[in-house]
Structure 1
Amino acid sequence: MREPLEQDAHSPGGAPSGRVGPGADATALQSELEGLRSALSSRPVIDIARGILIASTSCTSQQAWDILVAASQNSNIKLRAIAHQLVESFHGNPLPPATRRVLHAAISQTCAR
């Protein structure tokens, strides 16, 4: 007996419906798992970076998050990489000039609201 929401591998016209098969499901799940593991491992660095922004700019936690998001989107650098660079700068390593510029612009824009 068929499940009510099960889709055929092909649409009525014989064209593929988008569902490829069990192998594709396993690949998608593996990719999602890797993404979740990466997110979990980068979360502490992001939280520390947020804390640095809160302490250094007197912004709120949400504003610190918005600053990191804006800096990431405007520089095409992954948010976790910007957070890592910010944490490293707290330990004495200088921020790359491009990251410094994009963070400064994001701070100015976010805190001006």
Structure 2
Amino acid sequence: MHRTTLLPENWWDVAAEAAVGNAAGQDVVALRAEIDQLRRALAGRAVIDQACGMVMVLAPCRRGAARNLLVDISRQCNTKLPDVAVAVVAAWEGEPLSRPMQRALRHALRRLYAEDRGCDAHLADEPSGRGKS
């Protein structure tokens, strides 16, 4: 006759906490922390991908340029990239962007278009040089 033992759902957590005193227990705790961090990163990744797709459609540009645009907004607003992505997705659904994000978006789009034309933004305002002798 076989004896089956059912373990509670949180058994690993309990076992890890009980074994923290030894090296193996500390490894388990460190691995659980890493898993939690990776789960949070993956959750943020989905909204970043969605925002990149929106920028690609609206700008139009390639994926790398769209991500760089979001990163640029993130830096200008001193906001984490997933938070910028959430704001862009919310703006698509009717929630207005904050004033700083609006300014950062305009600035990033100007830079993107200037790079697309193959010139810097400050060169776009200079005369073309036609008619010079």
TM-score (norm: length of structure 1): 0.70
Quote the residue 1:9 is aligned against: none
Q: What amino acid is aligned across from residue 92 of structure 1 in structure 2?
A: G
* Distance in 1, Cα, partners of 2:26 & 2:72: 34
Shift of 1:26: 5.4
Quote the residue 2:69 is aligned against: 67
Deviations 1:25-80 (A, max 9, x none): 55654443222111111112111111111111111111001001111122210000
* Distance in 1, Cα, partners of 2:39 & 2:27: 18
Quote the residue 2:5 is aligned against: none
- Could you say if the C-alpha distance between residues 24 and 102 of structure 1 is closer, same or farther in structure 2, counting changes exceeding 3 Å? farther
* Distance in 1, Cα, partners of 2:44 & 2:31: 20
- Could you say if the C-alpha distance between residues 30 and 107 of structure 1 is closer, same or farther in structure 2, counting changes exceeding 3 Å? farther
Percent sequence identity is: 34
Quote the residue 1:8 is aligned against: none
Max Rg structure:
2
How many matched pairs?
Answer: 93
Structure 1 gap segments, 5+ residues each: 1-20
1:1-113 equivalences in 2 (<5 Å): 22=23, 28-113=30-115
4+ runs deviating over 6 angstroms: none
Structure 2 gap segments, 5+ residues each: 1-21, 116-133
Other structure's SS at 1:95 match: coil
* Distance in 2, Cα, partners of 1:32 & 1:111: 39
State the Cα RMSD in Å.
1.9
Other structure's SS at 2:95 match: coil
* Distance in 1, Cα, partners of 2:53 & 2:73: 16
